[in-house]
């Protein structure tokens, strides 16, 4: 599961990396504790790539308001083509959610939750496979997740779909059909992780100290 993000790469760098036209309402950088319901930077492709802001937490078409049902921040790869909330979006509205890292929690003693910060080993931004849907005057997004691979299985049993640059055109629908084959766990060594302070367990925490190793 992917439930909290960090965003420290400059907006201009993200736009250049994807050759995308940036919007005027992109999330403020840096953010060391980006939470569901906040805006996240997303790349879409429709007559050109756009870097735009979307609310993290997909709102299905039958919701009358964003709070009419459970908060949907992730979409499981094994059921994404079948679930009514996702099946149209996974075919027609795939996108890439950009982050610098994400937090995950492992089990400690008793009910203790131990936070970890996960990034790419090469320091590049994370390109997370996602899907989106329009909802009134806003767009909302959910991250596709899979069973954890060798990078994260010691920490948690789920991981987000991390796309390599060569896969971006296919996921965005620019390179034809067959995006389903991209829904595979991240190769060993691509991601690195380190323990961080439990201060990040609060969604109100902020500041660069949240990602400092302990």
Q: Among this protein's residues, is 88 annotated catalytic?
A: no
pLDDT at 179 over 70: yes
- The pLDDT score that the predictor gives to residue 137 is 84
pLDDT at 35 over 90: yes
Q: Which one is catalytic: 2, 159, 209, 212?
A: 2
> Which CATH number characterizes residue 127's domain?
3.90.1680.10
Q: Which one is catalytic: 12, 104, 112, 174?
A: 104
pLDDT, the chain, mean: 95
Our count of domains for the chain comes to: 1
Q: Among this protein's residues, is 112 annotated catalytic?
A: no
What DSSP state is assigned to residue 89? H
> Which residues constitute the domain of residue 152?
5-211
- The pLDDT score that the predictor gives to residue 114 is 95
Contacts of 145 (CB under 8 A, 6+ apart): 1, 2, 74, 75, 76, 77, 158, 159, 160, 161
pLDDT digit string, tens, across residues 144-160? 999 999 989 999 999 99
- The pLDDT score that the predictor gives to residue 111 is 84
């Amino acid at each position: 599961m992917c439930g909290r993000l960090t965003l420290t790469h400059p907006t201009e760098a993200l736009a250049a990396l994807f050759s995308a036209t940036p919007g005027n309402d992109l999330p403020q950088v840096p953010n060391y504790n980006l939470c569901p319901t906040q805006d996240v930077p997303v790349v879409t492709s429709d007559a050109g790539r756009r870097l735009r802001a979307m609310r993290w937490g997909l709102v299905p078409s039958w919701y009358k308001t964003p709070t009419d049902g459970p908060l949907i921040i992730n979409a499981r790869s094994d059921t994404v083509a079948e679930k009514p909330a996702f099946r149209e979006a996974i075919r027609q509205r795939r996108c890439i959610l950009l982050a610098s890292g994400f937090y995950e929690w492992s089990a400690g003693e008793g009910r203790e939750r131990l936070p970890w910060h996960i990034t790419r080993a090469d320091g590049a931004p994370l390109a997370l496979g996602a899907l989106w849907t329009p909802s009134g005057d806003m767009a909302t997004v959910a991250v596709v997740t899979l069973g954890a691979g060798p990078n994260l299985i010691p920490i948690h049993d789920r991981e987000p779909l991390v796309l390599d640059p060569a896969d971006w055109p296919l996921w965005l629908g620019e390179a034809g059909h067959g995006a389903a084959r991209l829904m595979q766990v991240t190769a060993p060594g691509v991601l690195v992780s380190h323990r961080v302070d439990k201060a990040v367990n609060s969604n109100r925490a902020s500041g660069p100290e949240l990602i400092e190793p302990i």
